[in-house]
Structure 1
Amino acid sequence: MTYDLVLTNGRVLDPSQGLDRVVDIAFSGRHVAAIGENLAPSAKSVRDVSGKIVTPGLIDLHTHVYWGGTSLGVDPEDYARQTAVTTCVDTGSAGPGNFPGFRKHVIEPCGIRILVYLHVSFAGIYAFSPRIMIGEGHDQRLLAARDAAEVADANRDVIIGIKVRIGRNASGPAGIAPLDVALDVGEATGLPVMVHIDEPPPSYGEVIDRLRPGDVLTHAFRGFPNAPVLADGTIRPQVIAARERGVLFDIGHGMGSFSWKSARAMLAKGFAPDTISSDVHAMSIHGPAFDQVTTLSKFLALGMPLGDVIAASTVKAAEALQRPELGTLKVGAVGDASVLSLRDGAFPLEDSQGEVVTAPQRIVAEGMVVGGAWWHSAQD
């Protein structure tokens, strides 16, 4: 058999298969074609990735990539080159009122995959910048349950869930009411809901008490106030109960939503995140989040094994999306792969509250395969 592309001599790390060894991986017709020894002689194109790590295509479960359509959007292709993410999941940049433009002008022409949590607010996150910051949930007249359900049903190929933002900043006087509307849309469409939480009110516990199996709480390891842990490091009982019933906990680092203190306390109690995401947007891409590989590196610094870190951005993210064809390098799966390196040194990594941890290792993006073909790396 002749393959379109073979990555040779790389350390293939695929948690979905329990695979971690130096082996070749071949792609044909936009899919993974083979994993084995000495595949390069049968390939039209060969890339030697000696000393590099090859993983399933990284999935960033929380991004904002409606570039040009919202003030917080970043260019998805530029971002992909920077961080070797093959699937960006946009979380609420667009609502039902402006989703068609997002689809036509960004999603469809983009060289990487973009999936969407559609905002329940009509125009999504429409006023998010250094100068203007208006929580879209403050005005309940913008909550568009019928429109959101209709748009989601008409775009099932790319819309995988419903987004809502809750907290003093995002929903203000509306409190927790927008969450109830989003959950209603989720019930009507059969889609999961991703919930942003910022400062109280409402409280962390009030929010997660309402979430259903498969729903995602993002910013789950934020700092005080509305942290997942109490002052003594005890995990809030509502957090434990939510995980037991199947609620998923996502990092969503962003500008203000990741705390070293909270993360240390959670991991010390054996509570790892289900998924790790960057929450990259126009105000976090220059720090402290930067990108997905920087966010992943922070969990490596916290002592999570590399395989678990990669799983939280591949197979576990795919499970949250209910897209089993992603997040794996199994033969026949979508031909997406990320090429990474693990560098030694002294790397200062900052959380959202200003604490800096110097890490002895960090993950670096080296390139990627999208749809079975080598896609642009930062150096190409």
Structure 2
Amino acid sequence: MRDMNWDLVLTGGRVVDPSLGIDRVADVAFSNKKVAAVGDGFAGSAKTVRDVSGRIVTPGLIDLHTHVYWGGTSLGIDAEAYARSSGVTTSVDTGSAGPGNFAGFRRHVIDPSQTRILVYLHVSFAGIFGFSPSIMVGESHDFRLMAPRDAADVINRNRDVIVGIKVRIGKIASGPQGIAPLDVALGLADETGMPIMCHIDEPPPSYEAVVSRLRKGDVLTHCYRPFPNSPVKGDGSVKAEVIAARERGVIFDIGHGMGSFSYKTARAMLAGDFPPDTISSDVHAYCIDGPAYDQVTTMSKFLALGVPLGSVVAASTENVARAIGRPDLGTFREGAAGDASVLSLKDGQYELEDVEGEILHADRRLFAEGVVVGGEWWHPE
């Protein structure tokens, strides 16, 4: 590697980048807001050097399921504060806004944010507008709110940040409408060439009915739900419809959240050779203090379940980038977006809970130690 005058070099860290097959101590160099190189001995050729010895360095973590329309919805958290606490450089907001209020989300939150925010636009006009511990109004209950024409227009004008369409299905989210809002979303997806992210909660409809409608590239979030509407049968085997969906290219996302991740389900799915494609937190105002907390806590739960570190990182970087059609993210390939997450893997005694109150006792967990955003060290001292 010829001598370069890089803007920033992270030196001495354990670089874990599944997209490049790298898991070793190396330097990562950034220049002109992009990844410049991964290699050895770069520290003498940089304007700024950060020694991250003893840390893990990954491509910028992507949380595929977040709610970051802060101030615009009851669910919203602050994406920049979240980046500082969880090492997430790209938050994908999943349906906080619909076509009726996306303009405010873009102007007041997405555009000013120093960290990247991408969006699954809700097919419902106002997105998730009535969600709190005291108020729970399923936006898919009322077909008057289904707004595919408006959504198509907003998508076509905002394809730089909108990566897909969100719809929520289940007894809580769609109630008397059942699976019908999914059909509206599928029509919108066909019209715009966008994938869907489908939320599923309690039946009806069934997990099997929902997943059977999804297409290659669509995302089923909350994929490790507890009973009822679990992806596994009573004997612990993976349902045939779930296996068939993966075979045709449906993406299975964790979406931990307030009520959607069970260790019992996770153990059965992993034992059935059905790991998640993507790991996400579904972080929002009512689960950021537990049980989900954040992305690194959710990742730590999978480490505690025996999933290798490389697979956990892939499910939070490379696999997510592929799901959202952004090959410039989730990798340290030369010319990729200049984002990185610096993590520590600490030994200790940690209690990690699922949504049913089961505690997993872990002897190590991940913590966020800093981020690089646009080729610059961004975490405050």
- Could you say which TM-score interval applies, normalised by the shorter chain? over 0.9
Per-residue deviation, 1:38 = 1.1
Aligned to 1:175: 178
Alignment match of 1:323 (pick from 311, 319, 326): 326
Per-residue deviation, 1:35 = 1.4
Alignment of 1:213-224 (within 5 A): 213-224=216-227
Runs of 4+ in 1 over 2 A off after TM superposition: none
Give the Cα separation in 2 of the matches to 1:82 and 1:35: 26
Q: Does 1:349 align with 2:345?
A: no
Aligned to 2:195: 192
Per-residue deviation, 1:31 = 0.4
SS at match of 1:365: strand
Give the Cα separation in 2 of the matches to 1:211 and 1:331: 34
SS at match of 2:343: strand
The aligned amino acid for 1:244 is E
Give the Cα separation in 2 of the matches to 1:350 and 1:243: 28
Aligned to 2:260: 257
Alignment match of 2:20 (pick from 11, 17, 21): 17
Aligned to 2:57: 54
The aligned amino acid for 1:177 is A
Per-residue deviation, 1:346 = 1.1
The aligned amino acid for 1:127 is G
The aligned amino acid for 2:292 is A
Per-residue deviation, 1:332 = 1.1
The aligned amino acid for 1:165 is R
Give the Cα separation in 2 of the matches to 1:328 and 1:162: 24
How big is each residue's C-alpha offset from its partner over 1:335-364, in whole Å with a ceiling of 9 and x where there is no partner? 100000101111100001110111111011
SS at match of 2:268: helix
Q: Does 1:5 align with 2:16?
A: no
Q: Does 1:297 align with 2:300?
A: yes
Contact 2:372 2:378 in 1 (8 A): yes
Aligned to 1:238: 241
Give the Cα separation in 2 of the matches to 1:99 and 1:142: 15
Per-residue deviation, 1:253 = 0.1
Alignment of 1:138-217 (within 5 A): 138-217=141-220
Contact 2:280 2:295 in 1 (8 A): yes
The aligned amino acid for 2:286 is M
RMSD (CA atoms): 0.6
How big is each residue's C-alpha offset from its partner over 1:227-247, in whole Å with a ceiling of 9 and x where there is no partner? 000111011100000000000
Give the Cα separation in 1 of the matches to 2:268 and 2:37: 41
Per-residue deviation, 1:273 = 0.2
Q: Percent identity?
A: 70
Q: Does 1:43 align with 2:40?
A: no
Instruction: State TM-score, norm by structure 2.
Output: 0.99
Instruction: State TM-score, norm by structure 1.
Output: 0.99
Contact 2:146 2:184 in 1 (8 A): yes
Contact 2:37 2:332 in 1 (8 A): no
Give the Cα separation in 1 of the matches to 2:69 and 2:126: 12
